[in-house]
Amino acid sequence: MLLGILIENKLGIELMKDNIKNILSIYKLATPQEIKDGIAWYLEAYKISNEIAIEYELPLNIVVGVIASLSPNNKWDRNILNARDLIKAFLNGEHIESFKVSTYNAMKKKAWHIMETMPNHEETISILNGQKIVSFYRNIMGDDTCTVDGHAFNIWRNERHGLTTDKTNIGKRLYREIQEDYVEACKHIKINGRNLKAFEMQAITWVTWRRINGIV
């Protein structure tokens, strides 16, 4: 059974940072299905990435790097379709202009560069060179970190702002603080006898936040 148990005492609640309380307050609104889906989200992303890697005989980090590159302002289903299109175009000897993606052109070029250079894991991170897409790459690869996108930021501060406004810009220091608070929030939740992982907390609260705010 995947129901999370909140482990806190009255003193702990009083001393808890407001931003951590914000994260936990959204977690408390998650349905059992949202908890299940959140825990499975990055595992499923890994599975899809690995299937693409096997299909096209590519290293996993290359496929995940392409997916992460094409993720900004892109819905997950389109993200995967765009990644497949780019990989197929490259392997078929086509030009980068031969297909379209649903994200920024600079991200398309970054993904194409990954295919051209076939970097290793650390080199892929260097090419990605953006805190959100690096975190996303690392999460899909299995690292226990937290991807802070606009929704995760809104959850953390308990405010809803559009994802293309200046109010969603996150500097490096703030990004790290938000990640640390998601990690800390996990210490207050146990699932099947273990603490929740940061990327699981982010995924669970992400799907819950979208539901309660009517975000498609």
Please state, in angstroms and rounded to a whole number, the distance separating the CA atoms of residues 11 and 27. Answer: 20
Does 58 score more than 90 pLDDT? yes
Is a pLDDT exceeding 90 seen at residue 82? yes
105-117 vs 76-91: helix axis angle to the nearest 10? Answer: 50
Instruction: Read off the pTM.
Output: 0.89
Question: Treating both helix axes as pointing N-terminal to C-terminal, what angle do 32-55 and 198-212 enclose, rounded to 10 degrees?
Answer: 120
Please tell me the predicted confidence (pLDDT) of residue 216.
77
Q: Is the pLDDT of residue 21 over 70?
A: yes
User: What is the residue-averaged pLDDT of the chain?
Assistant: 91
Q: What per-residue confidence (pLDDT) applies to 16? A: 85
Give the H or E element holding residue 150: helix 150-157
Measured CA to CA, the distance from residue 50 to residue 45 in angstroms comes to: 9
- pLDDT for 184: 96
Q: Across residues 25-40, what is the average pLDDT?
A: 96
pLDDT for the residue 166:
45
- The reported pLDDT for the residue numbered 169 is 74
Q: Tens digits of per-residue pLDDT, 127-178?
A: 999 999 999 999 999 998 899 999 999 999 999 886 554 445 799 999 999 9
Q: Where are the domains of the chain?
A: 5-212
Can you tell me the mean pLDDT for 61-77? 97
pLDDT for position 52: 98
Strands of the 194-195 sheet, one edge to the other = 5-6, 189-191, 194-195
